[in-house]
Structure 1
Amino acid sequence: MSTPTESIMPPRSNRPRTDAVPAMDPAVKSIQPGGGVVMAMELAWGRARRAYLRKFRPGYVSRMADRRQGERGDLTFDPVDSRDMKYYRNQGSYWWADADDPFLWRDALPFVRVGLAELLVLGGAALLISVVMALFWWPLFLPPFMLFILVVWFFRSPRRAVPSGTGTVVSPADGKLVEIVEIDDPVIGPAIRFGIFLSIFNVHANRVSLPGRVVSVRYRPGKFLNALRPESARENEKLDIELESGDLDGRVIRIRQITGQFARRIVCWARVDDVFARGEMYGMIKLGSRTELVIPRDDALSIVAKIGEKIFAGSTVMARYQSDVSIESDA
């Protein structure tokens, strides 16, 4: 689990900083800044659940209040347990230790935990419709049942074997590698950008490519163009995280989540000062999308992945920084 830290701090890069721009985008008020119908439904259910627990289970509410840690901060309500913090875990508010969280078991399910509500609402609705259709004429159950299978398949979260080795860059997303280009990035400098297209059949969880500390989280609303169109990377809704990696002497990498024509909900629970391990999950994009990875370009970099290759988040090696070649800091 990612945790904020004060003692583990990779050397800072020489990138320019602007004090007027906060590292944590103030527009990011939840892990799903674009909102959504299912999110609104789940938040409404949370309000009803808290009212029920306070009225009929005050002992449970009291125990959970005694065990919670942190401070309320800017949170607009008083949470009862960890379920209430699902959408606000990136706000630096209350949290519960694993030993005090009665809902930690949900992390062990073979599905991405932040997609469980969609799985229940969308998948449950499709399954219910298929049963009703079967009562009229059994072949009618097939289309909604296939939709149910697709929803279940979409939110799956398979285990991944993460490669080790200092300087090993793993893929941040499942999908097809459609772009490898050299760019001059205003923050990173000379860089390589990898573009990954995710179809609705891919796992949509995002993972960190190199171990590091989050130094910036940026969100920008936008359009919902087809993720295969080149202009989608510029015009669609997107969220960037930048990390300083100890593997690169504190230099910065960027992972960008981009919505698509059908994938309209970016989820990211990373916040500034969180430390992530290589291959650790930090978010997802719901229902088809694009992910980009930008890393520093220098003589130590060896690109392994090839355009057109099918890649897997956290396990496919995209590139390696050779330890026997000196890594120069940004000028």
Structure 2
Amino acid sequence: MTLHKEGIPIIWKSIVWLSSINLTLAYLISDLPSLKIAVLIISIAIMILILQFFRSPKRTPIMLEGKVIAPCDGKVVVIEEVYESEYFKGPRLQVSIFMSPFNVHVNWTPVAGKVHYFQYHPGTHLVAWHPKSSEKNERTTTVVRMDTGVDILFRQIAGALARRVCWYITPDQQIAQGSEMGFIKFGSRMDVFLPLDADVKVKLGDKTQGTFTILAQLK
């Protein structure tokens, strides 16, 4: 299993912290072996959860002209027409994908093109499925202008557990469809904003696989 670079510091800190707890218990408590075994089992379970969260699968994206691919693994929780107020200042189709702590949290670009707009927003940490999370939570907004001139906006949104959004793109950068663009630490969400005439290929409750699932066909 390959581990993502964003997880290495947390993994090492967790190893040190959990090891210290178990060694301290072993030194201070001579009896109560059941307690020491229970703490050890809990420590191992915590480490397994942390390791699986920061796994980083190697994927070869399906690059299809005119199609928008899923930027992350997760579950489709929103498909609706909304007013996008930051960049478009007008109506768009919003498709939102919720990432639970058990999903891969690597983020990929849904389309190819040039990064036309990028903005980081500090904020609160509402639960990621909260309707106001895309406006209130810590987040990034990225707009990629495709070769056809169509702008696709997507947002990384930190959730109640996610306390940091990471990104690896810059304005004016040329990016390929399915290239890694960021990571969100612990449960979170991504929103994709499409033209109103886009043909959405997913439905509510669908599970997505980043770089593979087709979200929409553009006209």
TM-score, normalising length from structure 1? 0.59
What is the CA distance between 1:144 and its match in structure 2?
A: 1.4
Q: Deviations over 1:221-279 (max 9, x none)?
A: 11111112212222111111111112xx1221111011111101010121011111111
SS at match of 1:191: strand
Aligned equivalents of 1:283, 1:304: Cα separation in 2: 24
Name 1:140's counterpart in structure 2.
39
Given that residues 130 and 145 in structure 1 are in contact (C-alpha distance below 8 angstroms), is that contact kept between their aligned partners in structure 2? no
Aligned equivalents of 1:118, 1:194: Cα separation in 2: 31
Structure 2 gaps of 5+ residues are 27-32
Name 2:30's counterpart in structure 1.
none
Given that residues 175 and 198 in structure 1 are in contact (C-alpha distance below 8 angstroms), is that contact kept between their aligned partners in structure 2? yes
Name 2:124's counterpart in structure 1.
223
What is the CA distance between 1:133 and its match in structure 2?
A: 7.5
Name 1:185's counterpart in structure 2.
84
2:140 is the alignment partner of 1:239: yes
Q: Percent identity?
A: 31
Q: 2:149 aligns with which of 238, 250, 259?
A: 250
Given that residues 162 and 186 in structure 2 are in contact (C-alpha distance below 8 angstroms), is that contact kept between their aligned partners in structure 1? yes
Q: 1:294 aligns with which of 193, 201, 205?
A: 193
Given that residues 192 and 294 in structure 1 are in contact (C-alpha distance below 8 angstroms), is that contact kept between their aligned partners in structure 2? yes
Given that residues 129 and 141 in structure 1 are in contact (C-alpha distance below 8 angstroms), is that contact kept between their aligned partners in structure 2? no
Q: 1:115 aligns with which of 7, 31, 42?
A: 7
CA 1:271–1:127: 2 relative to 1, 3 Å: same
Given that residues 305 and 317 in structure 1 are in contact (C-alpha distance below 8 angstroms), is that contact kept between their aligned partners in structure 2? yes
Given that residues 6 and 54 in structure 2 are in contact (C-alpha distance below 8 angstroms), is that contact kept between their aligned partners in structure 1? no
SS at match of 1:267: strand
Structure with greater Cα Rg: 1
Q: Which structure is richer in relative contact order (CA contacts within 8 A, separation 6 or more)?
A: 2
2:208 is the alignment partner of 1:311: yes
Aligned equivalents of 1:110, 1:257: Cα separation in 2: 23
Q: How much is the aligned-residue C-alpha RMSD, in angstroms?
A: 2.0
Which structure is higher in strand share?
A: 2
Output aligned runs, 1:277-288, within 5 Å: 277-288=176-187
Structure 1 gaps of 5+ residues are 1-108, 322-326
2:110 is the alignment partner of 1:213: no
SS at match of 2:94: strand
